[in-house]
Structure 1
């Protein structure tokens, strides 16, 4: 009795001490126990996703890749695999597993080592959210109390869902949704049983058991999971045997990018970091919808890349990138050796790396980096005459041996018919910007040939001389100062002595063709340099420069010298497109934008673009200070305060804008009468290939063809293209006719019309497809009268010597031309002449 009594006393005392210890431990760890609100509203670190306007994924940014899923979206076999491996009594215990704890304690007592953690899924969740992985007794105590707390406020399904979205699974994948995409490029419901088992085995050691880094260990772990599933009767014996014999199919899959638009995605990334800070931008699951349309963006990318290759090819083949063996003295490398050499070659854009293995008379055999053997036919080789300089090319080749040798590492591109063409990395650079001139929405933007090759965004960062693309702005200043489209100026050489330099300034037309007295409409359409200089002098340099500043250009970029008339100002393609939009929208300065909407991870709209429109009811513009406003204030200021349309500021009259667009329309369609040998072409005549009468445009070429431009538009789409070298001052040169190619090839000196406009035409063919014609609307305040083409005076004639011209009311001529034979200055160009 005494022994029993003392035993009971000992048990009571131990229980009391244990209770006191337990209470003490609880109060000790209580500060680390999360609040109910934290657990209910836990925010998973989710990457920022960037989408096109039509909802296709452009890119995602984040330190952790996570695709949150709900418990209903998780296949049952995957849940079974996780439970069988990590916590088979999950739906039975209260957050801690006494059996597991006892088993872990026995191991600790018998070995002295902490080999088993006895952690339930709930305890792992507690550690993953609130603790570290340090193996310490106090951490285990905290785990237990936090797990019990979690179980008291969340359901089992909620706990499991949180756990499966939180766990680290290697390769920056967090959660099973991201793991399925990273390792298999699949949705969860597309996974096979072996693939689910592989993912279920990763939580134990994501790095050591990674199927990409350690496929053998990963397979062994996968089979352990399958064995546990068999033991727990989640799968049958036949399913088990089939699954353990399945090969390892995991490989790294990047984000499922649906639209290639790296330049605008980088613009979005930088803007989001500026608005919200690095941590919040990258990890809170923002969904950013850009302004670009997926098909239009792809068309812009294709047009720019194809145009650069076309320029590069007409200047000749620069040779192989490397020589793996000398076909005359060395033995050929084996296929395995060639592929080993190619494995580290980085491919980008449309270029594919390959090695020439054999050369026939007019074909070559090539082994590609992916192991494919292809035949490079003569049609893919015959363009490749030797590059000598940017101004000289060799003779057209007659055999493949003049171009290639076995052992050479080369670049190739695939044609639409799946044949290949010899290629090379373009040396020149380019940029394309397309926007809606009515509200500034950027429809497409490409900042270079390849973002992987160069992250320099030429569309918004490269300030290049604009050449004759400046002339519409010069002529706009002239119209505001008394000139009309019918004003006559002398298209004749200018010689001006510069006392300070001791030389004469002689601006020349390009080409050096002079027509004598010429109307302003035709002068702009044919890009007459001397007329631009005469207009600048007539208006005044300072007044002209001040007029250009209305179009959003920076004062520091507008040099105040007479060379301004020829395009010496340096402007980015986006700045140029913005300024040019005023001629398409009736005279308003719109503000380009590329972010249409920002949503949080729950789909709540935090920001929605409310652009200023080209309209005539100006309202107060409100620009939120993103640094001081929280999300709710952003919504209030952007969505509510700006609910009504806001109008962009008017910078020129709608009449001025219309008249300039008319002259730019003539740059494409020309004028005169070809039947009477008075027809003439504008510098942008190649745009006639689009067969649309609603288009207006302007070429631009600087001295020595260093920078080339084409900008063109209708009422709804405006696009500017630049082509040049990244190193300013390098001329684009000229090319001679290649007798191996057809007559449609471009040759001669490079220029805005030949070098930049082809990309514009290819892009606009897609951008305008299916759109009805949208000419610039005829505004009030204009009159149309018939004028004499030679003098600009009124005419009674109704023949090829006259035409209707537009005038702002009060500026039309009041005198008629004398009724006598007229020398019409509308001579056609000879067939050898080329317009720039």
Structure 2
């Protein structure tokens, strides 16, 4: 009985244990089935490895100038792909030694490496070392998202195994070495080689290879640009690993460690100086090909930009605006910092400073950290560099009070400790100290410059403002401003085609017109001087407003509007007499293109920026054939020799003329570009000759400094809100506008001749350097005659003030001035 009871007591215990193990087994089975299910789910959801066989990563699109030089880049990842046979074997060995020493032995997963990494991490009590193979890194980079989940590690391992089955080791390395990010914005070994050492990847030495192979672990930490000491330390580690793996000898490693590293990055394109031009190209191509293709497909984009002209345009605009701004006076410090704020402020701008030295001519923000009132000298910190502003280098600001105390001084014209100033490097620093700065300030006014080839319409340079980073508004193409007197040549050209001549005499006298309002409109001359009878030449040379209005009245407003449209003006124009004074807003591109008609001999061309686009495989996506204006020989612009002398042979006319103006374009090739003859070559030449006088003896006299024949016209609007100069030589036409975005007076020195012409002149001096000097040549149907400018009639030899004037044959005067020539006035 007792035995029976004992068995009964033991039976429930045995049943409970059985139930426990049954549940445990069932749970394990379910977990196994769930794990297998999840595993097979992952297998089905994984991306295909086969697409890696055709590795086509995002690569940068490059922009080239007219001479083939690199002028810009568009990219999301800055990468250039190179074939694996161009990558040095030792560079591959360096990466393998540093990143995956068992790469050639494992099949995608390095189990021994996983154990080794786990042991090190346990010993150090933190994650100190990873165990991802190169194959796994490629799988993660190319096929997976960067999420940090356990599931991603499983996917990574599965894909790595698959990759090893389908790709060779060299194919995996090809992807890895072109895909990997190596710091400083460089993806792949080729661009990293250029970025750090200024070399093609196959030109690297062992020391440079080892330094580059040390970057994947932490590109910023081991950057040879920012932290050369840490980069050298990491380089030593890579070299020792190569020795251990048997790739190099210890002697080779020691020699590489002792090899000096010269950080010589490939000179990057100056994005600042060409930003507006490149943005125009970017918008044009993105609209045509889409963002994905532009930024990832490695397009080769060839443009009309002349890189040297573009640089000259940018620097001329900057210099001109700074000169204008300084004439307005020093506006004071941008802000004041407390002493405790200086370090943090300076660290923020360190990344914008050349890592080798401050760049001469560049402008930076600096903080005044010491003041010497006796010497009139400021000590300024720029990032981690120190320099000084001396009395001489801030003379332009006038008498300033220097205060040796922290905080904003009470006096308006004062500078104290903590002042944040714009400083321009006059002499670069040596060993982070001793730079000499000019006191500078950021101009408040803006400017635009655009330069075209008048024979093709190719845009050679364009600047749309002072600083693209602060304002992407392209004033060269988007800003519509009143051109003032710069519009007058269009009125005068229309008048020539209506039968007036450069010798036509018009009365410069006060006049008033019914404005339809209570007060009549009375146009005034800029200088409030009225000269009486003047010729059209004198009126344009001196930019006489009243005469321009009378000319417009004579030919008709609608005639002038139609003429402007013929020259390429598309903006709405005021249908009243104020049009003669440039009252209708135009863009600099419009007005400059209209002047290009005069420079080209009467042909209107379409401004364009892109000449050819290739895809990453070299296939031509588009190609533009520039317009071809018929080439012809003209007689020299020199006046005929007096008294029937033979003169220069080049002055003799030939029997070859341009086609007569027509509405049908001359066929020129692709992209709808055309050269349309819209006015006669004779009218074009007469206008050019008239505008030469503006430069030689009129309001555009500053342009004489170009040192060659120049035609051009100034423009200044009411209260000097807009300043213009548009002008040309036979090879190039350029227009400059200066003003404030929110219209207000430019103040002293803000006229077209003072604010815009100096920018134009500096640009043209630089743009034309090395170009042959060419005169403006007259067509055959242009004749010269000696005239009396007081009457516009023919003059006899010896007539005081008589000039050689040009005419379209048949329009020259036929009668002489009556009466004896007046005796010259006695000198006072």
* TM interval, short-chain normalised: 0.7 to 0.9
Does residue 731 of the first structure (1) align with residue 745 of the second (2)? yes
Aligned to 1:760: 760
Question: Alignment partner of 1:545: what SS?
Answer: helix
Q: Which range is displaced more, 77-86 or 128-137?
A: 128-137
Question: How far apart are residue 177 of structure 1 and its match?
Answer: 2.5
Question: Alignment partner of 2:493: what SS?
Answer: helix
Whole-angstrom CA distance in 2 between matches of 1:380 and 1:204: 47
Question: How far apart are residue 180 of structure 1 and its match?
Answer: 4.1
Whole-angstrom CA distance in 2 between matches of 1:759 and 1:814: 43
Does residue 298 of the first structure (1) align with residue 311 of the second (2)? yes
What pairs with 1:236-315 in structure 2 (closer than 5 Å)? 236-237=249-250, 257=270, 260-315=273-328
Q: Is the 8 A contact 2:276 2:468 kept in 1?
A: yes
Question: How far apart are residue 450 of structure 1 and its match?
Answer: 1.7
Q: For structure 1, which runs of at least 5 residues remain unmatched after alignment? A: 1-20, 326-332, 388-399, 624-637, 670-680, 735-748, 831-836
Aligned to 1:676: none
Q: Is the 8 A contact 2:46 2:155 kept in 1?
A: no
Whole-angstrom CA distance in 1 between matches of 2:774 and 2:282: 34
1:700/1:297 CA distance change after superposition, 3 Å: same
Which of 519, 524, 535 in structure 2 is aligned with 1:508? Answer: 524
Question: How far apart are residue 249 of structure 1 and its match?
Answer: 11
1:212/1:25 CA distance change after superposition, 3 Å: farther
Q: Which range is displaced more, 705-714 or 199-208?
A: 199-208
The normalised TM-score by structure 1 is 0.77
Aligned to 1:317: 330
Whole-angstrom CA distance in 1 between matches of 2:394 and 2:132: 66
Question: How far apart are residue 294 of structure 1 and its match?
Answer: 2.0
Which of 447, 461, 479 in structure 2 is aligned with 1:444? Answer: 461
Q: Is the 8 A contact 2:481 2:586 kept in 1?
A: yes
Aligned to 2:582: 567
What pairs with 1:367-382 in structure 2 (closer than 5 Å)? 367-382=380-395
Does residue 542 of the first structure (1) align with residue 558 of the second (2)? yes
1:283/1:827 CA distance change after superposition, 3 Å: farther
Aligned to 1:354: 366
Does residue 664 of the first structure (1) align with residue 691 of the second (2)? yes
Question: How far apart are residue 584 of structure 1 and its match?
Answer: 0.5
Whole-angstrom CA distance in 2 between matches of 1:605 and 1:621: 26
Which of 423, 430, 434 in structure 1 is aligned with 2:451? Answer: 434
Aligned to 1:392: none
Aligned to 1:775: 775
What pairs with 1:151-162 in structure 2 (closer than 5 Å)? 151=168, 156-162=169-175
Aligned to 1:651: 678
1:809/1:360 CA distance change after superposition, 3 Å: same
Which of 415, 422, 425 in structure 2 is aligned with 1:414? Answer: 425
Whole-angstrom CA distance in 2 between matches of 1:823 and 1:588: 46
Question: Alignment partner of 1:264: what SS?
Answer: helix
Which of 524, 538, 555 in structure 2 is aligned with 1:522? Answer: 538
Question: Alignment partner of 1:412: what SS?
Answer: strand
Q: CA RMSD in A?
A: 4.4
Which of 78, 96, 101 in structure 2 is aligned with 1:65? Answer: 78
Question: Alignment partner of 1:409: what SS?
Answer: strand
Deviations 1:86-144 (Å, cap 9, x if unpaired)? Answer: 44455567xx268x468769999xx9xx9999876556545644455653656644543
Q: Is the 8 A contact 1:209 1:221 kept in 2?
A: yes
Aligned to 2:791: 791
Deviations 1:440-486 (Å, cap 9, x if unpaired)? Answer: 11221111122223222211121111010100001111111121111
Q: Is the 8 A contact 1:78 1:200 kept in 2?
A: yes
Question: Alignment partner of 1:713: what SS?
Answer: strand
Whole-angstrom CA distance in 2 between matches of 1:254 and 1:90: 35
Which of 165, 168, 183 in structure 2 is aligned with 1:148? Answer: 165
Q: Is the 8 A contact 1:97 1:118 kept in 2?
A: no
Question: How far apart are residue 707 of structure 1 and its match?
Answer: 0.1
Whole-angstrom CA distance in 2 between matches of 1:462 and 1:145: 58
Aligned to 1:592: 607
The normalised TM-score by structure 2 is 0.77
1:480/1:228 CA distance change after superposition, 3 Å: same
Q: Is the 8 A contact 2:665 2:675 kept in 1?
A: no
Q: Is the 8 A contact 2:336 2:418 kept in 1?
A: yes
1:466/1:126 CA distance change after superposition, 3 Å: same
Question: Alignment partner of 1:698: what SS?
Answer: strand
Q: Which range is displaced more, 471-480 or 794-803?
A: 794-803
Aligned to 2:403: none
Question: How far apart are residue 317 of structure 1 and its match?
Answer: 1.2
1:816/1:253 CA distance change after superposition, 3 Å: closer
Q: Is the 8 A contact 2:540 2:690 kept in 1?
A: yes
Q: Is the 8 A contact 1:715 1:776 kept in 2?
A: yes
Whole-angstrom CA distance in 2 between matches of 1:324 and 1:575: 46
1:573/1:323 CA distance change after superposition, 3 Å: same
What pairs with 1:105-504 in structure 2 (closer than 5 Å)? 121=134, 125=138, 128-130=141-143, 134-135=151-152, 137=154, 140-151=157-168, 156-169=169-182, 173-181=186-194, 188=201, 196-197=209-210, 199-201=212-214, 203=216, 225-237=238-250, 257=270, 260-324=273-337, 333=339, 338-344=342-348, 350-356=362-368, 357-361=370-374, 363-385=376-398, 404-415=415-426, 420-498=437-515, 500-504=516-520
Whole-angstrom CA distance in 1 between matches of 2:247 and 2:64: 40
Does residue 698 of the first structure (1) align with residue 713 of the second (2)? yes
1:254/1:270 CA distance change after superposition, 3 Å: farther
Deviations 1:346-366 (Å, cap 9, x if unpaired)? Answer: 979932223331233453132
1:45/1:466 CA distance change after superposition, 3 Å: same
1:503/1:62 CA distance change after superposition, 3 Å: same
Question: How far apart are residue 270 of structure 1 and its match?
Answer: 1.4
Does residue 42 of the first structure (1) align with residue 55 of the second (2)? yes
1:540/1:251 CA distance change after superposition, 3 Å: same
1:70/1:561 CA distance change after superposition, 3 Å: same
1:122/1:510 CA distance change after superposition, 3 Å: same
Q: How many residues align?
A: 728
Question: Alignment partner of 1:601: what SS?
Answer: coil
Question: How far apart are residue 67 of structure 1 and its match?
Answer: 2.4
Question: Alignment partner of 1:757: what SS?
Answer: helix
1:79/1:107 CA distance change after superposition, 3 Å: closer
Question: Alignment partner of 1:144: what SS?
Answer: helix
Whole-angstrom CA distance in 2 between matches of 1:789 and 1:122: 87
Question: How far apart are residue 299 of structure 1 and its match?
Answer: 1.4
Aligned to 1:612: 627
1:32/1:451 CA distance change after superposition, 3 Å: closer
1:560/1:148 CA distance change after superposition, 3 Å: same
Question: How far apart are residue 593 of structure 1 and its match?
Answer: 1.6
Does residue 578 of the first structure (1) align with residue 593 of the second (2)? yes
Question: How far apart are residue 263 of structure 1 and its match?
Answer: 1.3
Whole-angstrom CA distance in 1 between matches of 2:335 and 2:484: 38
1:372/1:827 CA distance change after superposition, 3 Å: farther
Deviations 1:712-766 (Å, cap 9, x if unpaired)? Answer: 11111111111111112x00112xxxxxxxxxxxxxx521011111111111111
1:416/1:244 CA distance change after superposition, 3 Å: closer
1:439/1:574 CA distance change after superposition, 3 Å: same
Q: Is the 8 A contact 1:51 1:58 kept in 2?
A: yes
Q: Which range is displaced more, 252-261 or 659-668?
A: 252-261
Whole-angstrom CA distance in 2 between matches of 1:217 and 1:421: 35
Question: Alignment partner of 2:794: what SS?
Answer: coil
1:104/1:422 CA distance change after superposition, 3 Å: closer
Question: Alignment partner of 1:613: what SS?
Answer: coil
Which structure would you say has the larger Rg? 2
